[in-house]
Chain A
Amino acid sequence: MAHDDKGTSRRMDDADEVLALRARAGDRQAFTRLVRRHQERVFRFVLRMLDSRDEAMDLTQDAFLRAWNALPGWRPEARFATWLFQIARNAALDLLRRRQRVEFVPLDPDAPGETMFEPHDTAPSPEQRLADRQRIGLLERALGALPAGQREILLLRELEDMSYAEIAATLGIQEGTVKSRLARARAAALAHYRHHAGESPDDRSA
């Protein structure tokens, strides 16, 4: 993460903490602002965990309501976003347990949504777009096939850009466990690439 990004992130954290303190004291408007700041991130994470848009929307609401009720127990020493993700993650795991399923069905790589990714700085060639789409399909299949524990740690690191300390706090594990579990999840995802693509992940079309 760039230095400026860290500064921005810190300012966001400070604002979060101020809002959370006000919300803890009963300020509903402050909590509403927290919802607006974090709803997209929580939804994205929960959606990737559950692979069901309707359930993800319900669960995102539910996570915020749980957070509102639990706020009197929140202490400013805990980063608000980490604490919120802890709640969302526990709610998602509860739902997965109730479903009695650990993996979700992989998304169809040819689905229309697959073409919605943002293009990079230069417009990619049609071949590049096809290769990218194939890799995204592989990644989504790999995520769907991973155990929930490996999937969540990959999402927290790669999508949410959390540090090992933040992941450890969110999952309630040691940083050393984060390190090894994340490496195992990456290795498993790469193995899945190879298995389904019949290629080595380094055979990327650049």
Chain B
Amino acid sequence: MTDPHETHVTDDDLSAYLDAELASTERRRVADHLAGCPRCTARLADFAALSADFDRLPQDSLGCDLAGVIAGRIAAAPRPRPRAPGWRGLLPLGFGAAASVALGIAMGAALVGGGAALPRPAVLSVFDPIPPGSLCPGPESCYARGTLPMGAMR
């Protein structure tokens, strides 16, 4: 059988014992231990002394009555009421959603169906097909087939 005083009561349990916040079984266990353990009894006395010191703290007081001030302020600014939005409140949301969907459809149709906005290759032909500095990795890379300059035919 183990000695009940071999393991001391934890601070958690001593503190809760002081506050009468332990369940009855735990409370009995701690009380039994305290009956024969000067160390835990001293620790409990420390906690009790600390608690008693709070009773001696100066009782700071407001020194005035806030009720009048607060009554004036809540009368001046009525309590904000969370209102459920009616159908009028939902109108802007509906318009926004409809506009978003319409815009999405229009953009999709322009990309897939019409192709009107796609740039034509001819527009790009204004640029010189030979990169600056004539850095062609091979003649066939820079010239269309059959249009190689004479010097490149060697």
> Do the two chains belong together in a single complex?
yes
What's the least CB distance linking A76 to chain B, in Å? Answer: 18
Interface residues on A, range: 35 or more
Q: Give CA–CA (A69, B77) in the complex, Å.
A: 10
Interface SS of chain B = helix
Q: Give CA–CA (A39, B67) in the complex, Å.
A: 8
Say yes or no: is A149 at the interface (Cβ < 8 Å to chain B): no
Closest to A136 in B: B56
Pick from A79-87, A88-96, A110-118 the stretch touching chain B: A110-118
Q: Are B60 and A44 closer than 8 Å at their CB atoms?
A: yes
Pick from A8-16, A97-105, A186-194 the stretch touching chain B: A186-194
Q: Give CA–CA (A193, B51) in the complex, Å.
A: 13
The answer to whether A158 and B54 touch (CB under 8 A), given A31-B74, A183-B11, is yes
What residues of chain A lie closer than 8 Å to B12, measured between beta carbons? 179-180, 183
- Give per-residue flags for B36-51: 1 if the beta carbon is below 8 A from chain A beta carbons, else 0: 0000001001110111
Q: Are B14 and A158 closer than 8 Å at their CB atoms?
A: no
Q: Give CA–CA (A65, B53) in the complex, Å.
A: 33
Number of B residues with CB within 8 Å of any CB on chain A: 38
Q: Give CA–CA (A175, B71) in the complex, Å.
A: 36
Residues of B at the A interface (CB closer than 8 Å) are 10-12, 14-16, 19, 21, 42, 45-47, 49-51, 53-54, 56-62, 65-71, 73-75, 79-82
The contact sample of 26 A-B pairs, CB cut-off 8 A, is: A28-B74, A32-B68, A33-B67, A35-B66, A43-B61, A53-B60, A60-B62, A65-B74, A68-B74, A71-B79, A72-B82, A116-B59, A117-B57, A117-B58, A136-B56, A139-B53, A164-B21, A182-B15, A182-B16, A183-B15, A186-B11, A187-B11, A189-B50, A201-B46, A202-B42, A202-B46
